[in-house]
Amino acid sequence: MDIEVLQSRSRMVGVLREFFLSRGYLETDTPALAPSLIPESCLEVFATEYVHPTEEHRPLYLIPSPEIWMKKVVAETGRSVFQLCKAWRNAESVSRIHNPEFTMLEYYGVGLSCDDNICLTEELFAALAAQETPPRARPPFRVMSMSEAWWEFARADLDALAEPEAMRAACHERGLLVAPDATWEDAFNILFLSLVEPALPRDRPLVLDRYPAGIECLAADIPGTMYKERWELYVDGIEIANCFTEMANPEAVRKYFSSQSAKKRSALVPHRVDGSYASIFEHFPPCSGVALGFERLMTVLLGKKSIAEVLLFPFEAFSC
């Protein structure tokens, strides 16, 4: 049991709380048990139920992220908000970057764009860095767009690969296995994960910017392009954070819900969907939010190799 790590954790929590409070952010505290969630086909959740003494039981879900609740607070108050809380994701293989229960730091800045959030996140890293933080985890961040990375590391022109057939052909040309009926998104991920992601530079943190709109999510589109206002932060090859300029168009949000709900039909753990969610965007301020895996952040800032090293009781050590 590494008590020093526990002390580092409390130091970091103290620093980040002061960091956001001093910038006028409101700290939120939202439920961990939710009656319904955002449909996200990329993840599985934990389901449980409320056992009512006399009436019907009610299904409840452990949140995979506090996103829904926090955006409701943003819509209601127009304030920037932050929260550090537990989140849960099911059916992921436990590894050096995955633990089924983890701590999520989310911060939503009203009036900010996802570019502004790059600067804010750099400042946060500077504030949290410790003596043992290696140069590869210290700011300034390197910023590279997804299309630059594709050209640099796979000699592929991402703009020319907008159609599923072209994306599958790009995989084939590079000797990569791809199913003849693979979707654009799957073929994109096959090429990205095989050739681009392993080659990303690791000498300092990397913001991989402008994700293709072909990967469905709740980020705003960049008009006239095939990209979204979305970035992912990689530190030492680990995905630490995801940022969007929030999609604030209720129609687009409804479309996302119906498309993801269809994909979610094959989910291992089905869940109820929050039907009222899209309506909060009828009066939503311009806003950009970041979701950051706090144990992953601790791992890289403390120069560790695995999140198990920063957890007092890692899942893999549980004996059932």
Partner 1 sequence: MVRGGDIGIGTCLLINGTPHIVVEREFVSPGKGSAFARVRAKNLKNGNVITQTIKTADFVEDAQVDLVDCQYQYSDGELFHFMNNETFEQFEVPLAAHEDRAPYLKEGETYTIVMWEGEPIDIKIPYKMVFTVAESENYIRGDTVSGATKPVTTETGLVVRVPLFIKQGEKILINTETNEYVERVNE
Residue 46 three-state SS:
strand
198 near partner 1 (CB under 8 A): yes
Q: What are phi and psi of 80, to 5 degrees?
A: -75, 140
268 near partner 1 (CB under 8 A): no
Tell me the per-residue interface mask from 102 to 141 with partner 1, x by CB under 8 A, - otherwise.
----------------------------------------
Q: What are phi and psi of 271, to 5 degrees?
A: -145, 165
Tell me the per-residue interface mask from 242 to 261 with partner 1, x by CB under 8 A, - otherwise.
x-------------------
Tell me the per-residue interface mask from 50 to 89 with partner 1, x by CB under 8 A, - otherwise.
----------------------------------------
Helical spans, DSSP H, in the chain: 3-21, 67-77, 114-128, 146-154, 164-173, 184-191, 250-263, 294-301
Tell me the per-residue interface mask from 213 to 242 with partner 1, x by CB under 8 A, - otherwise.
--xxx--------------x------x--x
154 near partner 1 (CB under 8 A): no
Q: What are phi and psi of 230, to 5 degrees?
A: -145, 140
β-strand pairing of 287-293 with 238-245: antiparallel
Residue bearing tokens 């002390």: 7
| Binding residue for partner 1, selected from 115, 116, 122, 186, defined by CB under 8 A | 186
| Binding residue for partner 1, selected from 19, 40, 63, 146, defined by CB under 8 A | 40
| Binding residue for partner 1, selected from 128, 195, 248, 290, defined by CB under 8 A | 195
Number of residues that bind partner 1 (CB under 8 A): 28
Q: Which is nearer to partner 1, 6 or 193 (CB)?
A: 193
Question: Nearest-CA neighbor of 77 among 66, 88, 69?
Answer: 69
The answer to whether residues 263 and 41 touch, using CB atoms and an 8 Å cutoff, is yes
| Binding residue for partner 1, selected from 4, 22, 135, 175, defined by CB under 8 A | 175
Element (H, E) at 241: strand 238-245
101 near partner 1 (CB under 8 A): no
Residue 191 three-state SS:
helix
Phi-psi region of 212 (alpha: psi -120 to 50; beta: other; left: phi over 0): beta
60: Cα within 13 Å, side-chain hemisphere: 13
Rule CB under 8 A: which residues touch partner 1? Answer: 40-43, 91-93, 95, 175-177, 179, 185-186, 189-190, 192-195, 197-198, 215-217, 232, 239, 242
